[in-house]
Amino acid sequence: MRKKNIFITGAGAGIGAATARLFAEAGWRVGLFDRDFNAVTMLAREIGHDRAMAGSLDVGNPKQWHSALDGFVHWAGSLDVLLNNAGILYSGAFEQTTLDDHSRTMLVNVNGVLNGCHSAFEHLKANQHGARVINLSSASAIYGQSNLASYSASKFAVRGLTEALDNEWRNHNIRVMDIMPMFVQTAMVTNMDAGSIKKMGVHLSAEDVAKVVYKAATANRRLAPTHWPVGLTSKALYHLSGMTPDPLNKLINRWLGQH
């Protein structure tokens, strides 16, 4: 059976690291890329250097993307899945969050995904078996979340890009999908200041999300959905958003966001 290869951003911890371990256990070769080079180096050592390659990558820097992808494909032989996982979150009142923090959110969460998709296109297109891009979106891309305004906006952008490219790139035998979890037990939600996390709680682990990433990477290409909500709450909100009137969606999400 042909070896498959996945390139993971934000692989040093949390969802990225959990996904790397799961794919490696399933026999994939994994590219571990993160700004924290020490973290991915340790993870590569844990997984085994025959199955894992570690590299430094700032997703906001397009030049670093090209170098990282070229190096990975040279090592692995092909690119089957690009997982755009790297992301950051600032919570709290919009006006009390600095513009620098809002801009940083967009740089990492939006430009990082744009850079990855654009830089990886030729490698993805060259895969004769068909390739996939999997973007980490969020349940915050279902309806804008109070006290998570720029984070929510960034994930709406990821959702829109995913939908557009999934249609556009089918001509090149490339599927593009996104993963939409509610809050996950990672460092990102530590001390998060938003009413929604206090009301909804944190019920998902990084391993829960990794399992859905694996399903998206291995599901039937033609039948696989574009969006993959993770967990009962996210699935319920996703499906209800398409059925309930907009004023009701607004009221529900206003209540969720209140402290």
DSSP β-bridge partners for residue 174: 131
Tokens of 103: 């801009």
Q: What is the edge-to-edge ordering of all strands in the sheet holding 81-84?
A: 52-56, 29-34, 5-9, 81-84, 131-136, 174-181, 227-230
Going from N- to C-terminal start, the domains of the chain cover 5-257
pLDDT of 101 reads: 97
> Is 214 a known active-site residue?
no
DSSP 63: H
* CB count in 10 Å sphere of residue 70: 12
Specify the CATH number of the domain 5-257: 3.40.50.720
Per-residue pLDDT of the chain (259 residues; tens, 9 = 90+): 788 999 999 999 999 999 999 999 999 999 999 999 999 999 999 999 999 999 999 999 999 999 999 999 999 999 999 999 999 999 899 999 999 999 999 999 999 999 999 999 999 999 999 999 999 999 888 888 888 899 999 999 999 999 999 999 999 999 999 999 876 565 554 454 444 444 444 458 899 999 999 999 999 999 999 999 997 776 666 666 665 545 444 454 454 445 4
From the candidates 90, 143, 151, 238, which is the catalytic residue? 151
Give SS3 for 248. helix
pLDDT of 26 reads: 97
pLDDT of 142 reads: 87
Concatenating the DSSP letter of every residue in 126-166 gives T-TT-EEEEEE--GGGTSPPTT-HHHHHHHHHHHHHHHHHH
